[in-house]
Structure 1
């Protein structure tokens, strides 16, 4: 029995000194939230606990968090609502503790008015406010405080305040209410932890954010010298609240009092790979040693965590902590890796056609092909990873394709292009393509920036005033997200009027560079089409074939035999013109015809402003696709139309005839000209004089 209990505590990430009753509820709730989040199609990668948990806790009962485990002899306590709902007459017979736990306000008021002291402790040394706090009974908490209840009264086996209990359970509304009445989150419980340490231990990122916004020191130490960052790295498998604390400039190199472990040591101990990545990116000292003289790498080796060992060794070599051989020096050097990734497509695309263009025997060409394949496998295994293939290499492939197509034009096609107008048109297309590619790459797509003060204001507005919806908050950037914007997991930034992240331009496509991206696609299709025209012109002068005598395979063989290089370039051009053309058509269809972005099109069911009263049907509020205003229960701004949508996207202006929409989507949080929403302001008492935050 003890073995099972200890194993369950390990799963719940709690201390052996903490009872299983509280842990089980926290674990089950987090498990439920995790699976609900997985069922939702979330385009963002950065799942984090919402700032304000939209959970109805009025019918949920929380047992005492410090209740000792008495085994089978322990009296059963209801962890779930009973099968038969109690009647009002039955609830009016509850004692005041049970009535507080279940939120029976009338019964509690009746007993208090009859003379019950709200500061009286029960047999477990727990006050009524403790029970109200852990069960998120806000009305009862307000009532007890109005009757003179001591807010920061210590109680329970862990000698905690009601605010500690609310923090452990993750009740942000209760925390906001208690702190508005003067509850002090900097007080330590019996284990020496303040509220920010407890919130970090249990992964309540919303509470951590609120405490930091209210002025709590991000590097506050508990009695063991542990910071919130250390607790988050040690207890919470996932990006937050570790990432959140780093956003607020938590010190990464602090060590605890007894073990002298850094946050990285604690993360490696439990194999928290995500936290390790964030700490390494934050620049933590990889060579720091603890009281046993161990580095984080030493602990990873002892734990036999091969993934961490590999990545920590790689990081240490990159920073110069460890010596490496010649090959490792080049492989792990970021500048060298980038040069290889950007150069490799040029070499491979050249070899793919040049080998067969050689005037030598077939077996020699076969040998070159084998060597090329070995070269390809060796370079990709050493220098290429998932990020290189999906993010960095595509733009290099585009540049290599463009270069060799132009080389082919001037080397192979130039003698057969007799018209000067064709050369001028090809040159103009090349200049326009280069210009719009550069603008698409270098233009800020609409990155939304915020200062520390703005982040704090947003957290307070959301937690205390509930001034905007949950889906408008970016937990990664810690800022309010404008409508039509989205967080890009690759750039790690929020982008206004986000369309998608395009690896072919090494940038996001958003509000400010969408017009350049569409123009780039248009002229890219033009360049590939000119290349195919040149291939046809070359074959017309050098290959004689007959459809009746040769057939498709015979003609293909003659074309390839005439010039393997031209045939290779033609195959690349045919492949690229298909998908680039389809991408251009999709972009125009979405932006001009539908008035939507790619992100909105793919995740239309997640945005309420696209919903209609008919289930499964969606209407864009940014276009005039639907003539029936009654089908939509959301406000729709003035209609634009196809022509105006095109003008808006491309930003065309012509002496007042063409006037694009002037909406700044980086600052637009509601639909344009929509009626203002009412703000649900929480009614709180004035804070006491004994505690005040900035």
Structure 2
């Protein structure tokens, strides 16, 4: 038997309960998250009555207003709160972090500059003992790391686990070469041999644990003096750790580094100056004694010295190419003086000997003259970093992350020399020096007189062979007179061709006032007003400034350089940063971020 059940009559007003009214603090937090400065001002400075919210009030999760504005990159709100007297050293959240730490984790450079100028303490630590520098290094924010370092944070500071910023960078961001370079080169003690307290790993160990893909990514750490024999608490050296993780390629590379020093100062590079002389004399001697069969003996001699050659030429800053250039000239001069002086007029031989001697002088000047280095003392460096950061122009195009100096127009860092070069042209191994602002003219003189001297030697050799044996039997006559002279002739002809082409290239660069590097990267320096030649004035003016007033650019030219590449690159960098923000921090910009999301370490 079914019973009728009366329907339950609900109160219509209870079907949709009225929304709970938000508190003034919640409204202030939302205003900070969304950057609503007007709404925040109405809460802090109402037109009538007393303020509904204090500038240092906190939400239910113990997070101050300044933190929410900083982590969401609301610079206008941050400046307003600082003007109203917000406490820059206040800590909040689960990890007890300051607003500076929240901004450092997100990489908001301009916010960090504002907080530091307002008195924020860059040495404050969270519950894990981490500073803003540790948090920025974890996320790979190079610009933030530079600003925090310039504020006075020690580069080798440790957290409660003994981790340094370099350890976090090698463990989590080993592919970020600029970050590694900044931490290695900023300050006298990069901490490459420091060990953490838990596992006893050095930064090199953590790079291997972090899954480094390319062995050459470890090169900056090894060059900074990282030990290959340091063992962690498990007893593993970096090489053994790589092998235990199954990375045979990396283990083999570290074994090679153990047998062949990785740092240039550990190898007597100047031995390379005499190595080509020994090899050339060995080959020439065998050919002179045994004829064509002597080539086999020459090849055997070069093979016997291959291990020493590799030990030296693996470094970019070696003297082997310099030895090739020097001893080639010496052999040409010696051949002219020994074999051709008596066979022809002395005046004709002097046409070879004098340019060759002048070439040696210009070779010495190109090698011994400093090309012009960029350098900054620590105080000027910090001022430059702060100025560029405040202007929003702190990036790898305006500051060298290896030398930690502000770049000037037409300067570039040379990885071989390890310095920033003024008006960088290229690094020439044949003069064992960079070709830059102060020695480029000497280098062009070296090329010019080398071509004149070698061409004169070949002409004298041609005239001698033609007079003795006729035009078609000339080379047979030369080798018949002396096999040593014939080998020297082949070497001279080879040098004359490539040096002549190089000379023509540099003379063209002199005329249009450009460098080799700018020519290779020409698309980045194109200025429509100068038909693709941003530094061109007039041919005579360009030549005069190059040879007699090096380094004195006109204001229009310097401005053109700064205008064309720098702004374009800054714009490209801005687009990249926006794309990164949209992927990693879009929630913070669009609708704010809750306290738990913002405190992920």
Which range, TM-score by smaller chain?
A: 0.7 to 0.9
Cα displacement string for residues 568-624 of structure 1 (whole angstroms, at most 9, x for unaligned residues): 433332222222112222212211x212222333334434xx62369xx43434x43
Partner of 1:587: 506
3-state DSSP of counterpart to 2:124: coil
Partner of 1:230: 167
Q: Please say if residues 208 and 241 of structure 2, whose CA atoms lie closer than 8 Å, have aligned partners that are also in contact.
A: yes
Measure the CA separation in 2 of the matches of 1:425 and 1:579.
21
Could you list the runs of 5+ residues in structure 2 that have no partner in the other structure? 1-25, 47-51, 564-601
Task: Assess, with a 3 A threshold, how the Cα gap between structure 1 residues 390 and 299 changes in structure 2: closer, same or farther.
Answer: same
- Report the alpha carbon displacement of residue 137 of structure 1 after superposing the two structures with TM: 0.7
Partner of 1:396: 323
1:103 aligns to 2:41 (yes or no):
no
Partner of 1:91: none
Could you list the runs of 5+ residues in structure 1 that have no partner in the other structure? 1-93, 321-331, 547-553, 625-640, 652-659, 675-694
Q: Please say if residues 133 and 165 of structure 1, whose CA atoms lie closer than 8 Å, have aligned partners that are also in contact.
A: yes
3-state DSSP of counterpart to 1:508: strand
The structure whose residues are more often helix, as a share, is 2
Measure the CA separation in 2 of the matches of 1:472 and 1:280.
27
Q: Give TM-score scaled by structure 1 length.
A: 0.67
Measure the CA separation in 1 of the matches of 2:316 and 2:162.
43
Measure the CA separation in 2 of the matches of 1:662 and 1:487.
17
Q: Please say if residues 412 and 538 of structure 1, whose CA atoms lie closer than 8 Å, have aligned partners that are also in contact.
A: no
Q: Please say if residues 352 and 568 of structure 1, whose CA atoms lie closer than 8 Å, have aligned partners that are also in contact.
A: no
Cα displacement string for residues 98-122 of structure 1 (whole angstroms, at most 9, x for unaligned residues): 5543434344445555635555544
Partner of 1:663: 552
Of 529, 539, 542 in structure 1, the residue corresponding to residue 468 of structure 2 is 542
Partner of 2:222: 280
Cα displacement string for residues 134-156 of structure 1 (whole angstroms, at most 9, x for unaligned residues): 22110012233445544344334
Map 1:320-469; keep pairs closer than 5 Å.
334-335=267-268, 339=271, 341-350=272-281, 352-358=283-289, 365=293, 368-377=294-303, 379-380=305-306, 383-384=309-310, 387=314, 392-417=319-344, 419-464=345-390
Partner of 1:254: 194
Of 283, 291, 301 in structure 1, the residue corresponding to residue 243 of structure 2 is 301
Number of aligned residue pairs: give it: 522
Q: Give TM-score scaled by structure 2 length.
A: 0.76
Q: Please say if residues 255 and 262 of structure 1, whose CA atoms lie closer than 8 Å, have aligned partners that are also in contact.
A: yes
Task: Assess, with a 3 A threshold, how the Cα gap between structure 1 residues 176 and 662 changes in structure 2: closer, same or farther.
Answer: closer
Q: Please say if residues 96 and 108 of structure 1, whose CA atoms lie closer than 8 Å, have aligned partners that are also in contact.
A: yes
Cα displacement string for residues 63-101 of structure 1 (whole angstroms, at most 9, x for unaligned residues): xxxxxxxxxxxxxxxxxxxxxxxxxxxxxxx96555543
- Report the alpha carbon displacement of residue 355 of structure 1 after superposing the two structures with TM: 4.3
Q: Please say if residues 455 and 478 of structure 1, whose CA atoms lie closer than 8 Å, have aligned partners that are also in contact.
A: yes
Of 80, 100, 109 in structure 2, the residue corresponding to residue 172 of structure 1 is 109
Of 137, 141, 155 in structure 2, the residue corresponding to residue 218 of structure 1 is 155
1:598 aligns to 2:525 (yes or no):
no
Q: Please say if residues 423 and 437 of structure 2, whose CA atoms lie closer than 8 Å, have aligned partners that are also in contact.
A: yes
Measure the CA separation in 2 of the matches of 1:122 and 1:128.
8
Cα displacement string for residues 189-229 of structure 1 (whole angstroms, at most 9, x for unaligned residues): 23331101111222222222222221222232211122222
Q: Please say if residues 340 and 349 of structure 2, whose CA atoms lie closer than 8 Å, have aligned partners that are also in contact.
A: no
Q: Please say if residues 261 and 289 of structure 1, whose CA atoms lie closer than 8 Å, have aligned partners that are also in contact.
A: yes
Cα displacement string for residues 382-439 of structure 1 (whole angstroms, at most 9, x for unaligned residues): 642764589543222212322322232233322312x232233333222211111111
Measure the CA separation in 2 of the matches of 1:318 and 1:582.
36
Partner of 2:128: 191
Q: Please say if residues 104 and 144 of structure 2, whose CA atoms lie closer than 8 Å, have aligned partners that are also in contact.
A: yes
Cα displacement string for residues 333-367 of structure 1 (whole angstroms, at most 9, x for unaligned residues): 723x753x44443344445555444456x7xx1xx
Q: Please say if residues 500 and 599 of structure 1, whose CA atoms lie closer than 8 Å, have aligned partners that are also in contact.
A: yes
3-state DSSP of counterpart to 2:177: coil
1:133 aligns to 2:70 (yes or no):
yes
Q: Please say if residues 429 and 526 of structure 1, whose CA atoms lie closer than 8 Å, have aligned partners that are also in contact.
A: yes
Partner of 2:592: none
Measure the CA separation in 2 of the matches of 1:494 and 1:480.
10
Q: Please say if residues 425 and 435 of structure 2, whose CA atoms lie closer than 8 Å, have aligned partners that are also in contact.
A: yes
Whichever of the two has the greater Rg, that structure is 2
- Report the alpha carbon displacement of residue 445 of structure 1 after superposing the two structures with TM: 1.1
Partner of 1:47: none
- Report the alpha carbon displacement of residue 317 of structure 1 after superposing the two structures with TM: 5.0
Partner of 1:487: 413
3-state DSSP of counterpart to 1:599: helix
